[in-house]
Amino acid sequence: QVTKKERLHPTDPHEELEGPILAPNCSRVCVTCWKILKRGASPTVALANHMWYGEIPFQLVGLTYIEKLLISKVRHNRCIVKVLSSGSRKMIANVISFQHPSQKIYEALPPPPHELDDIIAFIFTGPSPPTEEDFKRTPMLVRRKKVYDALHWLKLNHNDYSNLEIALNNLMAYPEDIPPVVIDF
């Protein structure tokens, strides 16, 4: 639920927030929402419709593409990431997603690294093989602490993650300086 108080420790109680839920950092309203509010209606994507979740916790901000995959309990697609490097500072990337033939729901996260090869392919094209510097510019690197912090926060604050096992052995198996999937060049 949106109206729960954020928990920072497993011993913190689950508490509902009382009264109206306000966005203290929100001082402006977009034109679309303003027109709807003037009519006395509620915008479609609003907290009142359970469609706005408020401030995103810092533990979930700035996750790379691959880190988001690692904290997702449900796998419903497969992806191909193609990165074109022209030898200059510019990189162009495309992501193609395919529906996964069967959904997988994880009870322990992150999954083992070898399972990523089933859901994501990384194709690097360019005049030379990718370097560590090239990898740093892609959304394909894993920061283990960032993944751990995100999973820990989700376990404490998201109902669907409350029984999640954080698989530290799996997490430590992910490299931090190269993508954790097979790289085709």
Phi-psi region of 54 (alpha: psi -120 to 50; beta: other; left: phi over 0): left
Looking at residue 124, its pLDDT comes to: 76
* φ/ψ (deg, to 5) at 31: -60, -45
Residue 18 DSSP code: P
Per-residue pLDDT tens digits for 23-61: 777 778 888 888 988 888 888 877 667 666 667 899 999
* Percent of the chain clearing pLDDT 90 (strictly above): 29
* Exposure letters 32-44 (e unless 16+ CB within 10 A, then b): ebeebeeeeeebe
pLDDT at 45: 77
Domain boundaries, the chain: 1-55, 59-184
Low-confidence ranges of the chain (pLDDT < 50): 88
The pTM of this model reads 0.75
Backbone angles phi, psi at 103, to 5 degrees: -70, 145
The pLDDT value recorded for residue 103 is 66
The pLDDT assigned to 75 comes to 74
CB atoms within 10 A of CB 60: 17
